[in-house]
Each structure stands twice: as structure tokens, then as C-alpha cells.
Amino acid sequence: MKSLDFHKTYRGLVNRLKTHHSEDGAMKLAVGGEFDAIGILERELLIQFGLKKDGYVIDVGCGSGRLAKPLSEYLLGGYLGIDIVPDLVRYARTLVQRPDWRFEVAKGLSIPAEDAKADIVCFFSVFTHLLHEQSYAYLREAKRVLKPDGKIIFSFLEFAVPNHWSVFETNLAALDTDIPLNMFIGRDAIDAWTSKLDLEIDFIERGDEPYIHLPVPVVFEDGTVVREMGSLGQSVCVLKRAGLGTLRNRYSGILDRVVSPEPWCVDDIKYDGREFEMTGWALAPEGRHSLLGFTLNDREFEEIQFPLPRPDILDIFWYKAGADRAAFCCRSSVKSEELFKDGYATLKCVNRETGLPVRADCNVYFPPDTGPDLPDTERRKRISGNESALAFIQEGFTTFKKLDLALRRNFNRSLRDFRNVLDWGCGCGRVTRYFYAVPEVRLFGVDPDEDNIGWCREHLPFGEFRITTLRPPTDFDESFDLIIGMSLFSRLRENDQWEWLAELSRIAKPGAVLLVSTLGESTVARTGWKERLWNKWHESGFLAGETGPDQYYVNAYITQEYIRRNWSDLFEIVDFIPACIGNHQDLVVMRKRGL
């Protein structure tokens, strides 16, 4: 490293390799070895971050075609590969045999392409050999040639990754030689560069964590086979234009804070008595997927595939870094008696650095299927939108468990400590069915759906179920110690809400507890609202959508401030737990005044 002239040192390295190896050997060693395996990993990384078959790629530091060769098997669109070593450029051109692709010798720190040309500009093992000023200049050029919705992808070395320390030791041992410079980049430098260039970090991951989804196994030269998830060894960063300007930055910051700590969701569960599997999605803080782990009864799953592509989550959480790679699939072999040793299984998304849940109110609970009959498939789908029986069980029991935890936290009481309980809007018993385990409770369920009430009467004999009208009053008097209302205030217009609040106050005993769910900021942050609508909602605190076919139900969004300001006329607002029910609805804990 006697010279910092990267042109001179790299060309010298190639010349030395050519004197000791065949041309093929020298050309492949010149880019660091593992020519075939790393090339495939690089190609899959580009595809993972949105490269289409008809896209255009600019490969800065293309070398001898390590990426270009496997990429030619996928990419039908255009390609420009540039490198500072003429011999490498000639070899790559010959190897790839794509006359429609350009391979050129790099001149200075410029990219020979017109503005807004590329879908992806990549720098693999390039910034690792440049001064920071040179890397910044290249990023500035990359932004110039990038399409508005394009991505810049680069690999880098960082001291935070223990495996990278050996590279630093090599630097120390070679201070007086002419080997190429190995440069480390701190994330604070990347933050500064992106800020100055009006770019945003879309994804960033450590080199010692798998972050590349592999459709087929990749075989390394020593026979090692990597399946499902792989890594380049170097850390990787993906940038995009901050092209929507200050307005989007301000609003995206608001939404980002609303869903922090980040939520997660279990979409489905499978258990055959031997292997437990859960699938879903999880948002990682600042897109740092390596921070997240998943546990089953406080033990990390034996097999965790994360992050996996999930573009639909990016459509929802467009403001969260790494949201397009939020999917997970976790598996563990576990016997039934161990799985349900506490009476149910506890599933958590945890911060690996602290070992604590990222959001404890978003823990998921799964019981054995030993309770009352399950509703039929069509009935389950009508209520929850999901045909899966195990998902129905998980969703209902998790809500039941969270209600119990809310009571313990606020009143040091459990569900079994309440004598008369009303499940207002019980449906087909998704939550109600778990009261079979608390016979101390006298349970009532009401719903305007005559068919569901008929099913509950037949299959849930531990409760008393009545048909109610869409509007109050009910035929109860001051009867209940506890009233539960899930997903009802989320469906009522403002006037209807006031009518039902008055009715619930009438039929609740003095000091009775009410647990109701509402749609608040955590739900709105998933809707795609524009900032103007967000501001309008916050001005009034209440916003309802269009009525459905029944001309009664709507989607109703309520701010916490509105609830505390208005509902407190009838009830004491004891607690407000954001994104608790279904990991997106807020849970309002209230108590009737007068005890």
C-alpha cells in the first residue's frame, strides 16, 4: 500500500497474477476468487432488489465478468461494465459474448452513460479499494445516471463485522507493499453521503448475516453448498433517490415514528405434532434485518429464513427501509407437551442485541386445539378473511390473552375475576370460544348476525347468546362487570358510536371495565393516506370512510387525543395500548365512573 493510486496498484496486481497463472486463473483471481459462486450471489442480489429482465445495469468495477457472466443468463436488457484494467475488460467481453452489451475501460471517476439511464448501478468490491472522496464522487455519478426509481447497490467493509478484521490485519502486514488499498467505511459516512446527495438508504446489512435469497443452492470451490440464504461476505448497502423531496421526507418521518417500535405479523401457523412452522412478516429497525430474531417459548427457532422478499409489504410501509424484504419462515421440531407446557405457545419477535421483544404488546400466543368446535371454513373466512383454521385459533386466542394481560397490568385482575361478562359483537366466537376455560364467568355474547348467533348457541354451550339490533338499546339492564368490544368502534360512524357508548355505559355496573379496539394511527400508517388527509384527520380526531352495502358499517379512524377528550365524559380512560389487537388496532381500557 505504498501508493494510493488505485489505477497503478490494481493494474500491477493483474500483471503479477498473469506471470504466475494461466489467463483464466489470473482473470478469476484478480477479482478475489470464488468467481462462479460470488457472481451468482451478486446476480440474485440485483434481482432481489427489483432488477427486471428488461432492465439496464451499470456495473462499475466489472472486473473479468464475475457478475456479467451469470447475469447474461437472466438479463435481456442493457448492460454497461466498466473497469480500470484493460485486460479485465477484454476478458469479460470475450467471456460473456453479448454483442449488445458494452464493456469499457473506466476513465477517471466518471460513468460513460447518459442521465437517468440505469435501473441499477452496482459497485461490488469497488469502494473497498477507494478513498472516501473517490467513493463519494462515484456515488454522485451513479445518482446522475440512475432512473428516478432506480437503485444503487454497493458492498463495503466495516469494523462492526468481526470477520472483516482479518482484512484490516492484512492491511497492517502490507503497509510497504504495492497491494491494493482495502478501505473500511463507517455507517456514519454512508449517512453523511446520502444526506448530501439527496439519497436514501433502502437497505443495509452486515456481511456476516445472510441477506441474499437463493432460488437454487450455490456451490463454492471447497465444496461448501449454500442454500436458501447467502451473503457476499462484505456488507451491502442499497440506496434510492430521495426524489419525493422534503414533503415526503417530513410525512414519512411522521409515519415512521408511528410504527416504531416496528410491528410484526404471523400470517399462518402449521403444526403436525412434530414440526412447528410460522410464516409472516416483520419490519426491522432502520432496515437492519440482522437485529431481529424469532423465538418459540423464549428459545430461538431452529431454522429462520429472514429476510425474504415481500414486495406487498413495501407497498404498505413505503416509508420503512427494507420493507420489501420483510417476510420470514421459522421452523422448530418440538413435541406437543413441550410446545404447550404453559398451556399455550408464546411467539416473539426479539431484538437480538437485547434479547427482549421488539414490541411486547405484539407477542403472539397459540393454544392447543382442544377447545370447543371451530366454525366452518366459510364462516371463518367471513369473519377473519382467512380460511386457515390454525390462523383463526391463533388470532382469537392471542386477543383473548392480550385482554387478560391488559386487565392484569391495569387492575391486577384476570378475566376469571369478573362475574358477568359481555362480548359485544361476538361474531362466530373467535375470541368468545376461549371463555370455556373460565367457568367462573357468566358469559353473554351479542351480535346482529342471526346466523352466527345460531352457531354460537349450538357450539358454545358455556355462554348465553342473543341477537341484537344494529342500533341500541339492548334488552340488558345494569348487568356487567366487564364488556369487551373488538372491531366494532372501528366500524361505526361518529353518531352511532355515541349511541353505543351511552348504551354500554347504561348496561355497565359502576366501576365496570370496558375493553374496546379502535383504528388509530398504527392502522392509518398502513392505508396509503396522503399527508393532507392525515392532517385533516388529526384536526378533528375522527374520520369515517364510505358506508358499506348495508349502509351502516364504515371504516372509522379515531385518534387517541379524541378518545381521551370525548369518551372521558362517560368513562375513565385508564390505558391506551397502540397496535395491540391484531398488531394494528389500538386497545382502549376504560372504567365506568361511579364506584
DSSP string, 406-474: HHHHHHS--GGG-SEEEEET-TTTTTGGGGGG-TTSEEEEEES-HHHHHHHHHH-TTEEEEE--SSS--
Contact present, 565 and 541 (Cβ < 8 Å): yes
Q: Name the pTM for this structure.
A: 0.68
Cell 473500511 locates to 184
Flag residues of the chain having pLDDT under 50. Answer: 1-3, 244-248
The DSSP H or E segment spanning 51 is none
DSSP annotation string for 185-199: --HHHHHHHHHHHTE
Residues 6+ apart with CB under 8 A from 158: 164, 184, 185, 186, 187, 206, 207, 235
pLDDT digits (tens, 9 = 90+) for 145-179: 999 889 999 999 999 999 899 888 877 876 666 66
pLDDT at res. 521:
96
DSSP secondary structure letter of residue 246: H
Residue 225 CA to residue 89 CA, distance in Å, equals: 30
Q: Strand 420-424 relative to strand 480-485: parallel, antiparallel, unpaired?
A: parallel
Count H helices and E strands in the chain, helices first: 18, 28
Classify the C-alpha dihedral 579-583-585-587 as positive or negative: negative
Closest by CA position to 92, among listed 37, 35, 40: 35
What pLDDT score does 545 carry? 83
Determine contact, residues 199/239, Cβ cutoff 8 Å: yes
What CATH number matches the domain at 377-592, 2.30.42.10, 3.40.50.150, 3.40.1110.10, 3.30.1360.70? 3.40.50.150
Q: What pLDDT score was predicted for residue 247? A: 39
**Domain map of the chain by residue range?**
6-243, 260-366, 377-592
Cβ neighbourhood burial of 390 (10 Å; 0-12, 13-18, 19+): middle
Report how far apart, in Å, the C-alpha atoms of 264 and of each of 171, 198, 292, 385 are: 42, 30, 11, 18
State how beta strands 57-60 and 264-271 pair: unpaired
For the domain made up of 6-243, give the CATH fold: Rossmann fold (3.40.50)
pLDDT given at position 546: 74
- What are residue 150's phi and psi, to 5 degrees? -80, 175
Distance between alpha carbon 165 and the CA centroid of its chain, in Å? 30
Residue 2 is predicted with a pLDDT of: 45
For 142, list phi and psi in degrees, rounded to 5. Answer: -60, -40
Is residue 291 within 8 A of residue 351, CB to CB? The reply is: yes
Q: 382: which 3 cell numbers?
A: 367471513
pLDDT at 331: 97
Beta bridge partners of 82: 60, 104
Two domains, one topology: 6-243 and 377-592:
yes
CA distance 52 to 478: 64
Q: Select from 2.60.40, 1.20.1250, 3.40.50, 1.10.260 the CATH code of 260-366.
A: 2.60.40
Contacts of 460 (CB under 8 A, 6+ apart): 372, 429, 432, 433, 436, 445
Tell me the residue ranges of DSSP E strands in 242-360. Answer: 264-271, 275-282, 292-296, 299-300, 303-308, 327-333, 345-351
